[in-house]
Structure 1
Amino acid sequence: MTRHRLEALLPPGAVPRPLAYGRLPTPLQYRPDLGADLGVRVLVKREDLLDDLASGHKARKLAHAVARARRRGADTLVTGGSLPSGQCVAVAAFARRYGLRSHLVYSGDQQVRPHRPNGAYLLALLLADEVTWHERTPWQRNAELLRAACAEEARRGGRPFAVPPGVTVWPGLLGSVELGLELADQLGTGADVVPGPIHLVAPAGSGGTCLGLAVAARLLGLPWRVHGICVGGSRTSVTAEVAALRRQAVRRLGRQNLTDTPVEVHADWLGAGYDRPTAAELRVLAEAVRRYRLPLDPTYMLRAFLGLLGLVRAGTIPRGALVVLVHTGGNLGLFAGCPALNDWLGETFAAHLAEPRPPAAVPNDH
């Protein structure tokens, strides 16, 4: 556990006890190979190794959110996502572990129910109690669809608890703050602290993970710069979500010094959009696996990695700086049948994927 504890940094009663989850602390790996290529010092915080179901950082947030759901008497967790969603897996896994039902709602502009489940979706189907599909539905309707699923659960006599994308429901943010405190312990404190500023790079869907890291830095007085790399939303929309979460944190925690907690949101590496990597971007993914043995899913962590490369090249992260790439998870996305990834692999490795030739006839000498 972290030496810096939330209970000691926040007002009494502000931090209810979370549920148990995962293997802590997650590894912080020094990567001189990647650092030498970029001209910076690189560490990778491996939240993807937190549990055996690839829940990633979502498990930290859910430990707080699901604890609240149980205190409120909920018997069903309702969440939604797209096919690569690790959150759907994590919510269904938490429900199984703590004796709750789970209802998963899949939607999205380009989302179509697959005939052969794989990757995160396959695992979600194995864990979930109920799955509802809304194919080719604008992602902006996600909140509406979750409300409809909750209403249906209530109509049947259930007591649903909605978990929005990014686990932005309070107190999920505290899981990201705890990540920041754990990271601070690993980087060193007091006389052994690494001189700053330290740059943290993480994917930003809702921006909650990045805000939690920034809150931890503010609570400890650390000179961190937190860079959130957009994975689907625009810079404007993610910045607005971060601002809303920040206001919620100030209200819930009673800490006015959190009102200007900075998160630097970047949308320069959004490419063609959510879950639509280009061939050039997929070559970067392949190089990360081959050269650095670093698994990146094509939806979230590929964007964060591209952001890291771009921030260094632009000089936003100066040469020689210390950088922490926060690997939030999503590794199952490598096996989820992303159409762009499948097409690129088919073209790149066509010779290896060709139909095998029948073996040559073996002469019969008898």
Structure 2
Amino acid sequence: MHIRPHLLLRGEQPQVPTGYNLISLMFGNVTYASRSVYAQRSQMLYDHAKEVAGPSGLVVCADDITDFGWQEPESSDASRKVVIVNEGAASAVALLGVIRLVKFLAESSSFGNGHQVHVVVDAGTGTTAVGITLGALLLGLSWKVTAVTLADTIEVYREREKTLISEFERVQKLDLPIQDSSYSVDRILNWVDRSQPRKFGKVLNGEIERCCKIAQQTAVPLDPMYTLAAWDLAASLSLDKSMNTEVLMVHTGGTLGMFGLAQRYPSSFSSNQGVTMLP
């Protein structure tokens, strides 16, 4: 099957693309959307999909695909089929991949066999956090999930959680315990604000340097937009001797964003900066 990706990126194409821009240009047909257009994500994606599909094409959303086939009328003569994948792959279909990750982790000696596990993950769209929660629920694991919110209020994330779970139940034909149960989504998943709230995309003083030091000391690459927030919370929880649980941080990526930050803050990546051991 031949699949041709079309990617919509917010902002303007840089003169010299690096990081996410470079990777996107390598693998997809990229269209740059103005910030005002990108603000209406759903409409933007649908309009672009219709344009790609053409007058006789078929446009569907990822959650409307079942059994890796297309839900289309038998009489459909669509010559081009286009599927819309939401920003951050925020869809019920994406949850299946995260649940598979949970199953893989649960089969290990460190996190399976009845282990008490506290999972920490950063939350862009929140899809990964919801997927981990559903995986723990479906597999009967003694896990707790804490998601550090990055781009919206906790109330917005909770609404998105309900939407994702509702779509997952519809697509998978399940009826999951959401609340009012000793073992439910509400008992497993907890949303918290990052320790230093800010507008998404803003970098605070010292954060890039901290990411560099953590990489030098642990070989774990972090970025200040996403994974640093989860790292800080996971590190704090791991020092709590009163907790009889394993602390597991799920690394969601984000490291390519450091390329853009290196252009904005070159002094933070000076080769002669010293290494100070973290406490």
Q: TM-score range by the shorter chain?
A: 0.7 to 0.9
Q: How many residues align?
A: 243
Matches within 5 A, 1:9-20: none
Matches within 5 A, 1:57-96: none
Structure 2 partner of 1:209: 128
8 Å contact kept, 1:125–1:131: yes
Aligned counterparts of 2:124 and 2:35: Cα–Cα separation in 1: 20
1:169 equivalent to 2:169? Answer: no
Letter of the 1:280 partner, please give it.
Answer: G
Q: Deviations over 1:204-246 (max 9, x none)?
A: 1221111111111112221101111122122111121111111
Aligned counterparts of 1:133 and 1:249: Cα–Cα separation in 2: 31
Which structure exhibits the higher relative contact order, with contacts defined as CA atoms closer than 8 Å and separated by 6 or more residues? Answer: 1
8 Å contact kept, 2:208–2:223: no
Q: Say which SS state the counterpart of residue 206 (structure 2) adopts.
A: helix
Q: Deviations over 1:88-130 (max 9, x none)?
A: xxxxxxxxxx5211111112xxx432111001210110111x2
8 Å contact kept, 2:147–2:191: yes
Aligned counterparts of 1:115 and 1:278: Cα–Cα separation in 2: 26
One of 252, 258, 276 as aligned partner of 1:328: 252
Q: Say which SS state the counterpart of residue 295 (structure 1) adopts.
A: coil
Q: Deviations over 1:244-271 (max 9, x none)?
A: 1112222333332342313211123363
Structure 1 partner of 2:31: 132
Summarize the Cα distance change of 1:136–1:252 in structure 2 as closer, same or farther, 3 Å threshold: closer
8 Å contact kept, 1:250–1:258: no
Aligned counterparts of 1:342 and 1:310: Cα–Cα separation in 2: 31
8 Å contact kept, 1:201–1:304: yes
8 Å contact kept, 2:91–2:164: no
Structure 2 partner of 1:193: 113
Q: Say which SS state the counterpart of residue 228 (structure 1) adopts.
A: strand
Letter of the 1:325 partner, please give it.
Answer: M
1:151 equivalent to 2:72? Answer: no
Summarize the Cα distance change of 1:213–1:204 in structure 2 as closer, same or farther, 3 Å threshold: same
1:106 equivalent to 2:9? Answer: yes
One of 138, 152, 156 as aligned partner of 1:237: 156
Summarize the Cα distance change of 1:210–1:187 in structure 2 as closer, same or farther, 3 Å threshold: farther
TM-score by length of 1: 0.60
Matches within 5 A, 1:32-51: none
Q: CA deviation at 1:184?
A: 0.5
Aligned counterparts of 2:24 and 2:124: Cα–Cα separation in 1: 20
8 Å contact kept, 1:230–1:267: yes
1:346 equivalent to 2:249? Answer: no
Aligned counterparts of 2:249 and 2:35: Cα–Cα separation in 1: 33
Aligned counterparts of 1:347 and 1:207: Cα–Cα separation in 2: 29
Aligned counterparts of 1:327 and 1:232: Cα–Cα separation in 2: 17
One of 108, 120, 123 as aligned partner of 2:23: 123
Q: Say which SS state the counterpart of residue 229 (structure 1) adopts.
A: strand
Letter of the 1:282 partner, please give it.
Answer: I
8 Å contact kept, 2:20–2:257: yes
Structure 1 partner of 2:70: none
Structure 1 partner of 2:77: none
Q: CA deviation at 1:166?
A: 2.4
Structure 1 partner of 2:64: none
8 Å contact kept, 2:122–2:150: yes
Q: CA deviation at 1:318?
A: 4.7
Aligned counterparts of 2:128 and 2:220: Cα–Cα separation in 1: 21
- What percent identity do the matched residue pairs reach? 24
Letter of the 1:219 partner, please give it.
Answer: L
One of 146, 161, 185 as aligned partner of 1:227: 146
Aligned counterparts of 2:42 and 2:251: Cα–Cα separation in 1: 27
Letter of the 1:115 partner, please give it.
Answer: Q
1:268 equivalent to 2:169? Answer: no
Letter of the 1:100 partner, please give it.
Answer: I
